[in-house]
Structure 1
């Protein structure tokens, strides 16, 4: 009898729990905003666009400088992140995997905002504004996916493991798209975006029509589509000439934005160099200094880039590094180092065009010489005996021109070249002088959390 009553009690109690559960499921969440209420008008769409722009930062710059031959690990740094510099990172190393999550958060914001824009009925001037926002969102989606590809692809060639290209906000288990699929999807988004952004829109803190051309030029370089690389680079060069020698130093203090095509605006009153450019000085300790290998490539007397990029401080003695990264130093005492991040510049376009011309047909030497003449006092044009020497010169010029802008590691990977440091740059790197192309760390790892949760993804080889 007692057993029968107990079973009836359990049955009734279960029904009550089920009923309560169903009732609870019918409640409207109070800690989230329903999509149909999040984007009520064109102003809400703009906020969504700005939310995606907000995730542009200098994280990639720090990673690229640390794992390549741009920076060195000075003796005075006893607190800095050394696993990346010593090529000891793995899927659990946030120093090289954090951008993965950040960029996908940005992409999710983009896709949610696009869905919100699709649901709106726009009238009057909002129609044109909405079209521009759509263009910016599509271009941003292409840009963030391309950055993910540069960071986490197993290699830059057809058939290589790329990243999932997300065209909608959804919860699931996406598999990794191949390199060429990501390239094709990004190209399609950029083609759709370009006509939506009016030529009259010139805000450099947002994506303009010319900025789309710049993204297309860089993407074409990685695709090895030389004709498109030349064509898109020419579009940018025609719109934005190189900075003069007088203007160039001011780019890095935000005194001017000559030849800057697209930049990430940074605001504030405190020095945030450690967070964004952790090869800079903080608290009187140089965490990452410019590599002697990089320093030695410059004509220290005539190259205007040298003092703009690198500072020598003779007062720092003993174990302290006398060389510091001067780029992004800032122009005010209230916020030193808080300088806008230059995402695309005309100098890069000259080098993209030169490399593409060297690989096909065209005056590659002419473009290389034109850039050098703009940067080096009393420069005399140089001719090259063959393609190999010309390509080598272009790669070295990229090393100098684009130092600490987030390219060097990817450039070496594009050319299937090892990372080779001077012994002097690896004195505190436990012998990490050469990173061969066959080592796992030659490709950055997919985060461990992604591998453990996403049943359809796989890790890069050899991890």
Structure 2
């Protein structure tokens, strides 16, 4: 009898436990927000768009300056990024792999917001605004994939290993898309985005129609689609003419936005990635100084870019670097180094157009001379004996014009040219003077964690 009573109570207790467990399993998680609650209205969509913009930073600028012939590693720097500067990085080096995750987080935010937008039924003014948001999201998706491609493609040509192009938020293990597949998908997103963004929308901290043209021009340059590069560069130039000589210095202190097509807005009081705080550690230690090779390319008297980009400080004596990067330092003592990041400028568009014209037909010399006339006092137009001489001049002008804007390493890679430093610039680089195109480090590695987890992907050659 006791046994039967015991069995009865065991059965009742088991049912209670099972019922309680089922109830717990039905509880809504409290540490995440479901999509139907995350994107309830047009304001929520805007927050999603802003979440993607928030991941625009200067990480690429720092890496490109470090691994190319754009910056040097002074003797006084005993703590910073020596693996990147000395070309000792590998798949476990965060200095060159961290952007991989940053960009894919941005892309995931974009895809989640697009899905949330698709689920909403909007009318009137909200529907009009939603159309622009969709355009911004599609353009941002193209941009971040393009940045991934610039950083992690094995090379910039058909058949080369690219990166997975993600069009939806999902936990999957994709193989790497080839270079041309990523380019095609980015181009499709940009073509879809452009008509959705009205010409009247002019916020330079977000993607405008002119910014889409600028992205298309840069993408076409990497694709070697010369006709498209010229067309889209012309569109951007028409929207934003070159800064005047009087305006140009103010671009780098945020005194004006002349010829800035798209910028990443930075606010606050400090920023450890760029300007005074990227190139100089607390305490005045210079981490990365402008390379002597770069300094030597400027007409120090007449070129407006020299004082805007580079500062000479004679009071820094002994082993301390007297040359400092002046770009991004900013115009206030309370927020040094917080100048907005210029993602696209008209100066770049002139150089894209000149290079594309030199490779096809057109007045490449005219565009190059026009840019130099805008930057150099007393400049006399140059002539060029042949195409190789003209191409070399355009690449050197990119070296000067776009210094510390995140292009030099990729420009050399586009042209299959080695990185070659002056001996003076490699004094603290353990002999890292030349990076040949056959060395593994000529392409940044896919992160080791990605290779370990995703069995569908492969590493770049020679790592």
Shared fold (TM-score, shorter chain, > 0.5):
yes
2:283: which partner in 1? 283
Alignment of 1:4-83 (within 5 A): 23-83=23-83
Q: What is the SS of the residue equivalent to 2:429?
A: coil
Q: Show CA shifts across 1:256-301 (max 9, x none).
A: 0100000000000235346997334542100000000000000000
2:328: which partner in 1? 328
Q: Show CA shifts across 1:88-108 (max 9, x none).
A: 000000000000000000000
Contact 2:59/2:273 (CA < 8 Å) preserved in 1? no
Asked whether 1:135 is paired with 2:135, we answer: yes
Residue 148 to residue 309, structure 1, CA distance change in 2 (3 Å): same
Asked whether 1:402 is paired with 2:402, we answer: yes
**How far apart are the structure 1 equivalents of 2:246 and 2:280?**
25
Residue 33 to residue 370, structure 1, CA distance change in 2 (3 Å): same
Contact 1:58/1:277 (CA < 8 Å) preserved in 2? no
Offset at residue 28 of structure 1 (A): 1.2
Residue 145 to residue 31, structure 1, CA distance change in 2 (3 Å): same
Residue 236 to residue 154, structure 1, CA distance change in 2 (3 Å): same
Asked whether 1:414 is paired with 2:414, we answer: yes
Contact 2:243/2:259 (CA < 8 Å) preserved in 1? yes
2:126: which partner in 1? 126
**How far apart are the structure 1 equivalents of 2:276 and 2:440?**
26
**How far apart are the structure 2 equivalents of 1:85 and 1:23?**
57
Contact 1:60/1:406 (CA < 8 Å) preserved in 2? yes
Offset at residue 16 of structure 1 (A): 9.3
2:461: which partner in 1? 461
Compare 270-279 and 255-264 and name the one that shifted more.
270-279
Contact 1:114/1:137 (CA < 8 Å) preserved in 2? yes
Offset at residue 124 of structure 1 (A): 1.1
Gaps of 5+ in 1: 1-10
**How far apart are the structure 2 equivalents of 1:15 and 1:67?**
65
Contact 1:62/1:277 (CA < 8 Å) preserved in 2? no
Alignment of 1:232-381 (within 5 A): 232-273=232-273, 278-381=278-381
Q: Show CA shifts across 1:317-361 (max 9, x none).
A: 000000000001101111011110000000000000000000000
Gaps of 5+ in 2: 1-10
1:230: which partner in 2? 230
**How far apart are the structure 2 equivalents of 1:123 and 1:224?**
42
**How far apart are the structure 1 equivalents of 2:88 and 2:97?**
13
Asked whether 1:166 is paired with 2:166, we answer: yes
Residue 277 to residue 260, structure 1, CA distance change in 2 (3 Å): farther
Residue 13 to residue 219, structure 1, CA distance change in 2 (3 Å): farther
Alignment of 1:170-249 (within 5 A): 170-249=170-249
**How far apart are the structure 2 equivalents of 1:186 and 1:19?**
51
Contact 2:229/2:352 (CA < 8 Å) preserved in 1? yes
Alignment of 1:110-125 (within 5 A): 110-125=110-125
**How far apart are the structure 1 equivalents of 2:128 and 2:171?**
32
Offset at residue 121 of structure 1 (A): 0.4
Q: What is the SS of the residue equivalent to 1:84?
A: helix
**How far apart are the structure 1 equivalents of 2:276 and 2:290?**
16
Contact 1:135/1:192 (CA < 8 Å) preserved in 2? yes
TM-score relative to the length of structure 1 = 0.95
Contact 1:330/1:339 (CA < 8 Å) preserved in 2? yes
Contact 1:350/1:367 (CA < 8 Å) preserved in 2? yes
Contact 1:253/1:330 (CA < 8 Å) preserved in 2? yes
**How far apart are the structure 1 equivalents of 2:27 and 2:271?**
46
**How far apart are the structure 2 equivalents of 1:377 and 1:404?**
22
Residue 302 to residue 276, structure 1, CA distance change in 2 (3 Å): closer
Residue 275 to residue 294, structure 1, CA distance change in 2 (3 Å): closer
TM-score relative to the length of structure 2 = 0.95
Contact 1:164/1:177 (CA < 8 Å) preserved in 2? yes
Q: Show CA shifts across 1:66-122 (max 9, x none).
A: 000000000000111110000000000000000000000000000000000000000
**How far apart are the structure 2 equivalents of 1:161 and 1:18?**
52
Q: Show CA shifts across 1:50-70 (max 9, x none).
A: 000000000000000000000
Offset at residue 26 of structure 1 (A): 2.5
Asked whether 1:99 is paired with 2:96, we answer: no
Q: Work out the number of aligned pairs and report it.
A: 454
Q: CA RMSD in A?
A: 1.8
**How far apart are the structure 1 equivalents of 2:276 and 2:62?**
7
